[in-house]
């Protein structure tokens, strides 16, 4: 199975993708502090507990269109320019990735499901970039894919 991750551009083939908790940058520090504050103020138990959006996990999908849409839509246009200026971030990209365990070895078991999205999304320790793709999807098409993924019924 192939896996994908959507995010900021600038990653190279062979580079490791780490969860926000393991990244060392001003951006990562700000994200961690913001999430910690948001959790403390949240009335949503799954978010407040860290079950949803666990900063110790890297999120991937087996749905290429979802990773592509994520790269187009997240963060939204309203915040994109400010984040780029404040943190010196580039544009956006989506990556084909190899899933790795905590020791950096290829994952030999199925990845854990992402509790935030019903299907085709997973959480892992780290991943290695094996291909880089530049988004070509329109923001409108990206929103359609994002909505589709967010509303897929959860299989139990």
Eight-state DSSP code of residue 106: B
CA dist 42 and 30 (Å) reads 18
pLDDT of residue 145: 83
pTM of the complete model: 0.88
* pLDDT of 25 over the 60 cut: yes
> In CATH terms, is domain 3-19+57-150 a member of 3.20.170.40?
yes
pLDDT (mean) for 88-101: 94
Q: Could you tell me the pLDDT band of residue 12, with boundaries at 50, 70 and 90?
A: very high
- The domain segmentation of the chain, as residue ranges, is 3-19+57-150, 20-55
CA dist 82 and 88 (Å) reads 10
Instruction: Dump pLDDT digits (tens) for 32-79.
Output: 999 999 999 999 999 999 888 999 999 999 999 999 999 998 888 788
Helices (H) and strands (E) in the chain, counts: 5, 7
Quick one: tokens of 77? 């246009």
pLDDT of residue 153: 62
């Amino acid at each position: 199975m192939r896996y994908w991750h959507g995010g900021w551009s600038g990653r190279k083939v062979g580079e490791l993708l780490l969860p926000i908790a393991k990244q060392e940058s001003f951006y990562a520090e700000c994200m961690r502090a913001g999430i910690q504050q948001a959790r403390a103020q949240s009335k949503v138990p799954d978010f407040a507990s860290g079950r949803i959006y666990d900063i110790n996990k890297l999120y991937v999908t087996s749905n290429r269109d979802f990773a592509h849409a994520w790269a187009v839509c997240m963060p939204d246009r309203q915040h994109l320019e400010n984040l780029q200026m404040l943190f010196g971030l580039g544009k956006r990209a989506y990556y084909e990735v190899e899933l790795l365990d905590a020791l950096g070895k290829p994952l030999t078991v199925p990845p854990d499901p992402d509790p935030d999205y019903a299907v085709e999304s997973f959480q892992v320790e780290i991943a290695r970039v094996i291909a880089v793709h530049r988004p070509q999807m329109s923001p409108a098409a990206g929103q359609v894919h994002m909505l589709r993924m967010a509303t897929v019924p959860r299989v139990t």
